[in-house]
């Protein structure tokens, strides 16, 4: 970097909704000072601290109430007296439900109601992630079902497990792992698309800074740990009920602890991408985005009525297409084409810049600055 050259910085106006920035957070302990190879540990610390501090600052009472409902629903379902005493193995179906004691039946019913309430709250609070959130809850139940299949003929699973007794459970777990991988990939690729749309800079160093501000390494670690915890909780629960004497208290406690911790991690998983991407985002893979572009075309534009110069507030002809991509007039004098920023004009073959000069006051700024702000950073 030259002597008179200043380091790039990200415009604070783009992140005005954030009370603090990722780059301002320090690790609790710098492992990289011991050896540079431990730098990823510092990165994980910083990102997890950032997400935790942001959640503690921004979650209102409704978020915490939803978290409490989820934990209570889990505990009520797990601490049922029917589970603790093993129940009657000879009574199944409707006869089995009818034999449940009055308090046990009420407790089970209350747990179902609370789980439904929890799902409704998740649907309301996370409009961007609602489908993925309910899918994660569904596949959590698939994980439980897989562990039941593992223990069906092998009560000490995985001790003395046979390949024949693992086929069905393994298939269910593979389906769960595929979906979780797909979910993580969709969030990451939507993040990449968000960077391309909202944080394009002519200076590549600024784009790299934006990418680091939107890092998902910590979120990916939470997703991995959540999958491990729900698998552990499902295994421990199935392991406890597989032995009907109720002697595996260690497994039961493990089920309660890991399951209870999974609820706040689940909420963090669906909250953070929505906070990062904004309430207008659609979480999907790059392939899905490209397929939608091919099916819908790129020529349908949003209304440009809200586009105006950030300096003189004069209206400008800048808009977005249906995929959120920014479209500006061609900079070549006499050319009437409108193109996506960063693409070549099909009429005059001139590259369309990411910056735009106001025709009234002459201010030159990124094209994104001429559009109304959205709830994203």
Q: What is the pLDDT of residue 228?
A: 97
pLDDT of residue 269: 94
Q: Is the pLDDT of residue 12 over 50?
A: no
Share of the chain above pLDDT 70, in %: 77
Peptide bond into 158 cis (omega under 30): yes
- pLDDT digits over 127-142, tens only? 889 999 999 999 999 9
% of the chain exceeding 90 in pLDDT: 34
Q: What pLDDT, on the 0 to 100 scale, is given for residue 262?
A: 97
Nearest alpha-carbon partner for 219 in 294, 274, 139: 274
Q: How confident is the model at residue 202 (pLDDT cuts 50, 70, 90)?
A: low
> Which range is least confidently modeled, 115-129, 167-181, 277-291?
277-291
- List, in sequence order, every residue forming a beta bridge with 326; answer none if it has no partner: 320
Q: What is the pLDDT of residue 305?
A: 42
Top-confidence residue, 171 or 290:
171
pLDDT at residue 375, rounded to an integer = 39
Per-residue pLDDT, 301: 37
How far is 348 from 23, CA to CA, in rounded Å?
42
Stronger pLDDT, 83 or 228, i.e. the higher one? 228
> Among 122, 125, 146, which residue's Cα sits nearest to residue 133?
122
Lowest-confidence segment of 53-57, 293-297, 366-370 by average pLDDT: 293-297
d(CA 210, CA 376): 13
Handedness of CA 347, 348, 354, 360 (dihedral sign): negative
Domain range list for the chain: 12-287, 297-377
The pLDDT of residue 290 is: 64
Q: What would the mean pLDDT of 52-69 be, rounded to a whole number?
A: 94
Q: What is the pLDDT of residue 123?
A: 94
**pLDDT for the residue 292:** 64
pLDDT above 70 (res 88): no
Q: Of 234, 216, 227, give the one whose Cα is nearest residue 136.
A: 227
Say what angle helices 167-198 and 130-151 make with each other, to 10 degrees: 160
Per-residue model confidence as pLDDT tens digits over 228-269: 999 999 999 999 888 876 678 899 999 999 999 999 999 999
Average pLDDT rounded to a whole number, residues 26-31: 86
Contacts of 262 (CB under 8 A, 6+ apart): 140, 226, 229, 230, 233
Torsional sign, CA 66, 68, 69, 74: positive
* pLDDT level of residue 300 (50, 70, 90 thresholds): very low
Mean pLDDT of the chain: 81
Alpha-carbon separation of residue 313 from 63, 309, 367 (angstroms): 38, 4, 14
Q: What is the pLDDT of residue 101?
A: 67
pLDDT in the model for residue 349? 77
CA 78 from chain center: how many Å? 27
Q: pTM of this prediction?
A: 0.71
Q: Are 187 and 193 in contact (CB under 8 A)?
A: no
Please choose, from the candidates 246, 256, 242, the residue with its C-alpha nearest in 3D space to the C-alpha of residue 159.
Answer: 242
Contact 295, 287 (CB under 8 A): no
What average pLDDT does range 196-224 have in this prediction? 79
Q: What is the mean pLDDT of residues 15-24?
A: 70
**Average of per-residue pLDDT across 165-186:** 93
Better-scored residue on pLDDT, 217 or 12: 217
Cβ–Cβ < 8 Å for 230, 180? no
Q: What is the mean pLDDT of residues 307-322?
A: 79
Q: How would residue 283 be classed by pLDDT, with cut points 50, 70 and 90? A: confident
pLDDT of 299 > 50? The answer is no
Of the ranges 73-77, 123-127, 206-210, which one carries the lowest mean pLDDT score? 206-210
């Amino acid at each position: 970097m030259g002597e008179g050259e200043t380091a790039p910085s990200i415009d604070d106006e783009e992140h005005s909704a954030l009370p603090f920035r990722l780059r301002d957070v320090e690790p609790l302990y710098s492992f990289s000072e011991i050896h540079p190879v431990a730098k990823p540990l510092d990165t994980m610390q910083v990102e997890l601290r950032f997400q935790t501090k942001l959640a503690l600052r921004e979650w209102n009472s409704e978020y915490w109430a939803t978290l409490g409902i989820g934990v209570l629903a889990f505990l009520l379902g797990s601490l049922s007296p029917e589970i603790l005493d093993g129940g009657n193995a000879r009574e199944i179906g409707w006869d089995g439900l009818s034999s449940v004691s009055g308090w046990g039946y009420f407790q089970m019913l209350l747990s179902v109601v609370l789980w439904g309430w929890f799902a409704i709250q998740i649907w309301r609070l996370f409009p961007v992630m609602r489908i993925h959130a309910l899918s994660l809850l569904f596949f959590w139940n698939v994980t439980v079902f897989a562990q039941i299949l593992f223990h069906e003929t092998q009560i000490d699973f995985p001790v003395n497990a046979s390949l024949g007794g693992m086929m069905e459970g393994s298939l269910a777990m593979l389906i769960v792992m595929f979906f979780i991988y797909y979910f993580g990939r969709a969030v990451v690729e939507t993040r990449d698309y968000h960077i391309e749309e909202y944080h394009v800079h002519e200076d590549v160093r600024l784009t790299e800074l934006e990418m680091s501000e939107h890092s998902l390494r910590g979120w990916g670690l939470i997703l991995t740990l959540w999958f491990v915890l729900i698998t552990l909780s499902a295994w421990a629960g199935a392991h406890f009920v597989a032995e009907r004497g109720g002697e595996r208290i260690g497994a039961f406690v493990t089920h309660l602890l890991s399951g209870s911790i999974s609820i706040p991690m689940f909420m963090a998983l669906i909250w953070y991408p929505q906070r990062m991407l904004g309430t207008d985002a659609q979480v999907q893979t790059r392939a899905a985005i490209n397929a939608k572009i091919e099916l819908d075309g790129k020529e349908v534009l949003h209304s440009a009525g809200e586009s105006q110069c950030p300096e003189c507030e004069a209206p400008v002809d800048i808009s977005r297409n249906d995929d959120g991509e920014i479209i500006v007039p061609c900079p070549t004098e006499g050319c009437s084409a409108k193109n996506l920023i960063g693409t070549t004009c099909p009429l005059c073959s001139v590259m369309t810049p990411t910056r735009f000069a106001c025709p009234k006051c002459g201010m030159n700024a990124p094209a994104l600055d001429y559009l109304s702000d959205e709830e994203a950073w």
